[in-house]
Amino acid sequence: MKKIRIITTLFCLVSVSGYSQMSFTKTGKVEFDATAASSPERIEGTTHAATAVLDTRNGQLQFSILIKSFAFERALMEEHFNENYMESDKYPKAEFRGNVLNMAATDFAKDGTYQVKVKGKLTLHGESRDIETEGRLQVRGSSIQATASFQITLADYKISIPGLVADKVAKTARISIDCKLEPLK
């Protein structure tokens, strides 16, 4: 009987630790802003459909976003974004694969806010580039709120802006990420 209790306890501990090692969302928020200083209107889009997975054991991190999931204030802007700039039929998603570099400084068993450094590859519009940025992981119970903000140069991803609107669209875009990750079940 004692052996059964020990085995059951060990099984529960392994199950709980395995349960809490992967955190996931399908509803991550990603915003981008490519508004030039001379633009009369904001050039920004938002999605609440980013998929993200964080392995809390080793810091591996992955994001995937369907380009067509970005919503805009004006339908015409959304159409131009998808057809002319991002070519979302040809390049339907953006992906990031990387690692949290200072993962050991984050205690997922303790509520708190942890500053992190993230490094990896961002693939967008068929081009891949290394990205390194700072972010924040806020642990509350079993939830992890992940936030980060960084800039990309559109030309690095071969995103060309037609001359007619070149003064309205910035050469760099600010990307902001805000995702609530829950244990993967």
The enclosing domain of 92 has a CATH number of 2.40.128.110
- Residue 6 domain-assigned (yes or no): no
pLDDT by residue (tens digit) across 87-104? Answer: 999 999 999 999 999 999
- Residue 144 domain-assigned (yes or no): yes
CA–CA separation, 89 vs 67, rounded Å? Answer: 9
Decide if pLDDT at 2 tops 80.
no
Count of other CB atoms within 10 angstroms of residue 140: 11
Q: What is the pLDDT of residue 162?
A: 79
- Residue 11 domain-assigned (yes or no): no
Instruction: Output 15 or 145, whichever has higher pLDDT.
Output: 145
- Residue 7 domain-assigned (yes or no): no
- Residue 139 domain-assigned (yes or no): yes
Q: What is the pLDDT of residue 11?
A: 41
- Residue 136 domain-assigned (yes or no): yes
**What is the number of structural domains in the chain?**
1
Long-range interactions of 115-124: CB distance < 8 A, separation 24+: 118/61, 118/148, 120/61, 120/96, 121/96, 121/97, 122/94, 122/95, 122/96, 122/152, 123/94, 123/95, 123/96, 124/91, 124/94, 124/152, 124/157, 124/159
pLDDT by residue (tens digit) across 48-81? Answer: 999 999 999 999 999 999 999 999 999 999 998 9
pLDDT by residue (tens digit) across 7-64? Answer: 333 343 344 444 459 999 999 999 999 999 988 889 999 999 999 999 999 999 999 9
DSSP assigned state of 71: B
Domain range spanning residue 149?
21-183
Contact 68, 49 (CB under 8 A): no
- Residue 132 domain-assigned (yes or no): yes
Gyration radius of the chain's alpha carbons: 20
Alpha carbon of 140 to those of 49, 151, 177: distances in Å?
A: 22, 28, 18
- Residue 80 domain-assigned (yes or no): yes
